Amino acid sequence: MKAYLTREYIFSASHRLHADGLSDEQNSSVYGKCNNPHGHGHNYSLEVTVSGQVSPETGMVCNLVDLDEAVQHTVLQRFDHRNLNMLADFAALVPTTENLTEAIYNILKQSFHSAHLEKVRIEETSKNSFEYAGGETPCR
Amino acid sequence: MKAYLTREYIFSASHRLHADGLSDEQNSSVYGKCNNPHGHGHNYSLEVTVSGQVSPETGMVCNLVDLDEAVQHTVLQRFDHRNLNMLADFAALVPTTENLTEAIYNILKQSFHSAHLEKVRIEETSKNSFEYAGGETPCR
Amino acid sequence: MKAYLTREYIFSASHRLHADGLSDEQNSSVYGKCNNPHGHGHNYSLEVTVSGQVSPETGMVCNLVDLDEAVQHTVLQRFDHRNLNMLADFAALVPTTENLTEAIYNILKQSFHSAHLEKVRIEETSKNSFEYAGGETPCR
Amino acid sequence: MKAYLTREYIFSASHRLHADGLSDEQNSSVYGKCNNPHGHGHNYSLEVTVSGQVSPETGMVCNLVDLDEAVQHTVLQRFDHRNLNMLADFAALVPTTENLTEAIYNILKQSFHSAHLEKVRIEETSKNSFEYAGGETPCR
Amino acid sequence: MKAYLTREYIFSASHRLHADGLSDEQNSSVYGKCNNPHGHGHNYSLEVTVSGQVSPETGMVCNLVDLDEAVQHTVLQRFDHRNLNMLADFAALVPTTENLTEAIYNILKQSFHSAHLEKVRIEETSKNSFEYAGGETPCR
Amino acid sequence: MKAYLTREYIFSASHRLHADGLSDEQNSSVYGKCNNPHGHGHNYSLEVTVSGQVSPETGMVCNLVDLDEAVQHTVLQRFDHRNLNMLADFAALVPTTENLTEAIYNILKQSFHSAHLEKVRIEETSKNSFEYAGGETPCR
């Protein structure tokens, strides 16, 4: 009786891909136009998947209001309408969407306990998406 | 040589979320505006995933005509353009999309045998989706 | 320097198409399964288009916050998560999406004055949409 | 025999909405989180609509290769993966999407002559879009 | 009280772009890979827009069943799952989407009379679309 | 620290479903209008999913430029704007999307080594998709 629930959130942010450990030439070679000075930005589509037993009483895996609150307070307020490079999360990490996906997974793993967090998926553009499921295989 | 095939169907229905075992205040608290009297509705997007060997002769996992017929006769005729609360399926169950997903999975598990039913996924809105795969992990 | 701004809102509602002036047979013939007793529902996608000069100071046609407030208070609170047949708007009108589009256009024409209301468009399903622009040709 | 052709291009950029003529408080009030320091970003979907007679010989309004080249060289190279606030186009203009739409319309009006430029439309997010058609009514 | 109704239909077809009046080199230059021998194909999304008074009795511009029947019998049966180059419509015309859009507009202008045909729009891919409105400006 | 990256590519091709081992009547019965003479076509949306450790230095699973080059040279140049029935890949195989998905998986398994190929998914139309993951369960 285990069901899976996925909910989508949208946020907008800017970033510049630049690794401190690489030379300017290497950065330009590795990241291409994503290394342009002054950065650029995206509308990120964030999908959070949780799972659990369907409650016989309410018919729900968990209340979406609880999930929305956790995502709002711990994720969206932190990343929406921000320059990712200026955040503490990316002081020592390049703000690629791979790293952003893992950061959000870890934040939600700590802040949301009403259902089991299965995975986090971020669409950076309509052509690229990234998923992270902790150490587990992100079955869905 | 096992491949997976997913096909999408659309249907429209109305429902009101209200648990008989809860007080009116509790219902309002748990379900919010989904508990509004007289109900509301959705366009449900139903995705059915089946799997099987690809036939060397026909190049197909199964004939989509067979899948369409099963879904049409056992699912769409039952739920499309209906008020879910009035159906026998939900006489003792709250018609959440979690419960609707599980109901449709169980119906198809019994009615469709041309390929292995992997899972059922329903998008209630463009922001919410639900998946059910019986007792199995809904890998895909 | 006149620009056009379109913003999308989503709401869910249920309805049953049934004209009091027609017999049961005629209703069934005209509306098909949309005439099913107890109703069904949709996720309605509402697009509001307004126009105006772009302010040289702010670079905006109008503030989206103002548009959002007008739509929230006069449209979404009235129609979201409702059974359209139970509303005063449709006491004497069949709640088709044509009539719903015109009703929302008229409401916004009265309640929103920060820019010129050009037209209202509603997608009932991904296959059907309706537009209304008052007496004007809905150029866009 | 006049037909209309619309082609979509995608680019990513960052911006911060801040009007020099307003105080910090006014900027915060007018632009909300879009005024956050360090900016944020979007995937912009740009739609260019042109019109013309369908050539009896080639069956085309114009060659898409020509349109692609004009947009690539005069628009995408200028705005893609950039911080709009750093560009000469927005030295004296707030980089709202209204102003960006008008800037791109004016650039294409000068650089593309294989068909009549009808209008430019930009989707800033899936919920907001902006259109500009010069002094004309953007019929389509 | 005039409203606009748009309905979407999908069909799949193949074509090869090749103008008899051009040399092989010219064809290759004008049409690029669309001139590849043996052709290629698309899922075409066809949008038909009609307009009319909203009936006070039924609340409808026209019955969608009538529009569906006209499109099914006169358009889809003719073009769906076909090679456009083999059809009489394109014996003397290159099967570009411009010409296909005009052909479908003309067919519907003759076969559908329950409401005023405003325009026909075809999406050839998610990036290209074409519109035709007879001699009129395709306002909408 | 294993993350998953999915990237989408679009190509257009034509095909006709016809099995040499079946009679004309059987072909018509099995494939319906997909067996129409002269073929038809689709816009295929190809999604390639790869996985790997996120590099602590670059923050990437692999460089998208490498993936794009592999897909461009080994898949798109082979299948885009082609008639699948004329290709060596389908000399002895019916060009169903099941077989096409498996063919592309096998090509990429040989040509792309910068990350682990997890699975290939092809959307034939907005309603049908197919997945193949070699002998593995296509978890994601």
Q: Tell me: the pLDDT tens digits for D73-103?
A: 999 999 999 999 999 999 999 999 999 999 9
Q: What is the mean pLDDT of residues F72-83?
A: 98
Which among A3, A57, A140 has the least Cβ separation from residue B101?
A3
Q: What is the mean pLDDT of residues B99-115?
A: 97
Interface test with C, best of E4, E9, E118 (most C CBs within 10 A): E4
User: C64-94, pLDDT tens digit by residue?
Assistant: 999 999 999 999 999 999 999 999 999 999 9
Residues 6+ apart with CB under 8 A from A105: A117, A119, A120, A132, A133, A134
* Joined tokens for residue F37: 């003479």
pLDDT of F2: 92
Q: Is the pLDDT of residue E140 over 60?
A: no
**Rounded CA gap, F63 and F66, in Å?**
6
User: D102-138, pLDDT tens digit by residue?
Assistant: 999 999 999 999 999 999 999 999 999 999 999 766 6
Go through B67-104 and write b for each residue having 16 or more CB atoms within 10 A of its CB, e for each that does not.
Answer: beebbeebbbebbbbbbbbbbebbeebbbbbbbbbbbb
* Joined tokens for residue D100: 């960006």
Nearest-CA residue of chain A relative to F8?
Answer: A127
Which among A14, A86, A126 has the least Cβ separation from residue D41?
A14
C138 within 8 A of E140, measured Cβ to Cβ: yes
Give the model's confidence band at B138: pLDDT under 50 very low, under 70 low, under 90 confident, else very high.
Answer: low
Q: Is the pLDDT of residue F100 over 60?
A: yes
Which among E36, E38, E41 has the least Cβ separation from residue F40?
E41
pTM of structure = 0.95
Is some CB atom of chain F closer than 8 A to the CB atom of A109?
no
pLDDT of C140: 44
Nearest-CA residue of chain F relative to E41?
Answer: F41
Q: Running DSSP on this structure, what letter comes out for residue A21? A: T
Nearest-CA residue of chain C relative to D19?
Answer: C58
**Rounded CA gap, D41 and A41, in Å?**
3
Q: What is the mean pLDDT of residues B15-24?
A: 97
Give the model's confidence band at C138: pLDDT under 50 very low, under 70 low, under 90 confident, else very high.
Answer: low
Nearest-CA residue of chain B relative to C17?
Answer: B81
Contacts of C33 in chain B (CB under 8 A): 80-81
Task: Write out residues 12-41 of F within 8 Å (CB-CB) of E.
Answer: 12-15, 33-34, 36, 38-41
Q: Is the pLDDT of residue F110 over 80?
A: yes
Residue D80 and residue A40: Cβ atoms within 8 Å?
A: yes
**Rounded CA gap, B48 and B42, in Å?**
18
Residues 6+ apart with CB under 8 A from B84: B13, B14, B15, B90, B95, B100
Neighbours of chain F (3+ CB pairs under 8 A): A, B, E
pLDDT of D138: 60
Q: What is the mean pLDDT of residues B106-120?
A: 97
F40 within 8 A of E84, measured Cβ to Cβ: no
Q: What is the mean pLDDT of residues D32-47?
A: 97
User: Which ipTM was obtained for this model?
Assistant: 0.94
Tell me which of A57-61, E135-139, F127-131 is least confident: E135-139
Which among B38, B81, B125 has the least Cβ separation from residue C40?
B81
Residue D131 and residue C63: Cβ atoms within 8 Å?
A: no
Q: Which of D44, D81, D78 is nearest to A38 (CA)?
A: D81
Instruction: Let me know if E124 is a catalytic residue.
Output: yes
pLDDT of C137: 64
Q: Across chain F, what does the average pLDDT equal?
A: 95
Distance, first Cα to last Cα, chain D: 15
